[in-house]
Chains A and B, each alone.
Chain A
Amino acid sequence: MSYLFVDQIQEHTTGQRICGCKLVRPDELYLTIGRANHPALLPAVVGEALGQLGAWSVMHASQFQYRPVAGVVDQVTIYDDAYVGDLITLTTEIVTWDEQAIDYHSVATVDGRKILAIDHAIGPMLPMTEFNDPQRMQQLFIELSNAQTPWVEDMQTSLPSPCALIRYDQMVDWQPGVQVIATKYIPAKAAYFAEHFPRKPVLPLTMLLSANLALAQQWLMEWQPSIGSSLVPYQLRKIKMRNFIAPETTVTTVIKLKAQHNDQIVLQIVNQVDTRTVCGLEVIFHDANTQSA
């Protein structure tokens, strides 16, 4: 199953600005139950589509010699869900790029409605040959640039089961309102490794974020049963992927309460491999019933 999420490149000023789209299909692997109780794409996958769009631009600009990988993201704001049948418009503005790093902003919309925005994502640029076949990537870029706007006739789908790829295996410590520690084994057969990346499979940051958010939500629901189901992740801040996570690794995740005020709960999340911090971020959850994004 592919882990490439841009269906069409619509406009492109090389290394500066790129627009594209992604259709949320009923047979997507990465679906969840959205705020309107309809099947929706995992928000982190919308972010992945935006990141991949920016990557296409700078890969093209570097003549497919370099590719960006996940690094630091200052802020991601999740405004709404993208549901099955939605055509997501993706726009990425590249602030700067060179052979060392890319810095970009992105926004995803559906019919003009803002879904998700990324502020200042900074990703290291690494030699393309370590991760992908440059010729294949160049060919894919041409195909995406010449692609038709995607469309499928039958958008009917039932509510999805929670995506197994983002489920934690074991709860090590579970203290509602204090902290949760959980572990997850990353199997080599996970579907995303085929494309992420063919020559060097590593866990996509967006899959790790999805797992973190699902775990945090489950913990909040137990801690705050009266409002838990309406608490939704609104903003992710200071995200950083420090090391690649290879297949067959066990990730230990620690979630702690950082702050709580009004209708917002701020969590600190750290992912570790062998006691080494490989990823960290802050997440703000808010009550979807009392706040509009």
Chain B
Amino acid sequence: MNVESVYPKVKQILVDVLFIEEEQVALDKRLIADLGAESIDFLDLVFQLEKEFDIKIPRGQLEKNARGSLSEQEFEENGMVTERGMQALREYFTELPADQFPNTLKISEIPSLFTVETFCKVIIDAQQKAASQAV
């Protein structure tokens, strides 16, 4: 299981969900800024991915994955991502070029970092979790 193996399906789903052309989709494209995603599109996207890949993506899972090993208190302060939190985000969103990474970020703005690759990684993570539970 790797990003390349799930990407073709993710790409097709994104084309349907965002009403865009296939050529517009690439792994490093940000869903909101580059592909014009609206907040409802994230609900739709998660639903379509769950159906296609037979996985569960609990609400808030993407943010949780991005937080890594940090606790909520370590990650967030007064609605803002802490410095340690920003470091965790940089480590998670490796596909994002440094110049697209803000210096500060509100918690509610985390979806602005989501790329196509983010969703590929979430699928792989969910598949691995499901496989480990089945063993």
- Give the B-binding residues of A (Cβ under 8 A): 71-72, 74, 98, 100-101, 120, 122, 124, 238, 240-243, 270, 277, 280
Contacts and interface: CB of A to CB of B under 8 A. Distances in A.
B47 A277 contact: no
Interface stretch (B1-9, B33-41, B85-93, B98-106): B33-41
A98 to B, nearest CB: 7
Nearest to A277: B19
A97 to B, nearest CB: 11
B134 interface: no
Contact of A243 (B16, B38, B47): B38
Interface in B1-40: 16-17, 19, 38-40
Given A72-B44, A242-B41, 12 more contacts: A71-B43, A72-B40, A72-B43, A72-B47, A238-B16, A240-B17, A240-B41, A240-B44, A242-B38, A243-B38, A270-B19, A280-B19
Contact of B59 (A72, A74, A100): A100
A207 to B, nearest CB: 18
A243 B43 CA distance: 13
Contacts of A240: 17, 40-41, 44
B34 to A, nearest CB: 16
Interface of B: 16-17, 19, 38-41, 43-44, 47, 59
Contacts of B59: 98, 100-101
Contacts, number: 32
Contacts of A71: 40, 43-44
A72 B16 CA distance: 13
Contacts of A98: 59
Closest 6 CB pairs of A and B: A72-B44, A277-B19, A242-B38, A71-B40, A242-B40, A122-B43
Nearest to B45: A72
Contacts of B40: 71-72, 124, 240-242
Contact of B43 (A101, A277, A280): A101
Contacts of B44: 71-72, 122, 240
Nearest to A238: B16
A72 B38 CA distance: 12
B16 A122 contact: no
14 contacts: A71-B43, A71-B44, A72-B40, A72-B43, A72-B44, A72-B47, A101-B43, A122-B43, A240-B17, A240-B40, A240-B41, A241-B40, A243-B38, A277-B19
Nearest to B38: A242
Contacts of B43: 71-72, 101, 122, 124
Contacts of A74: 47
Contacts of B41: 240, 242
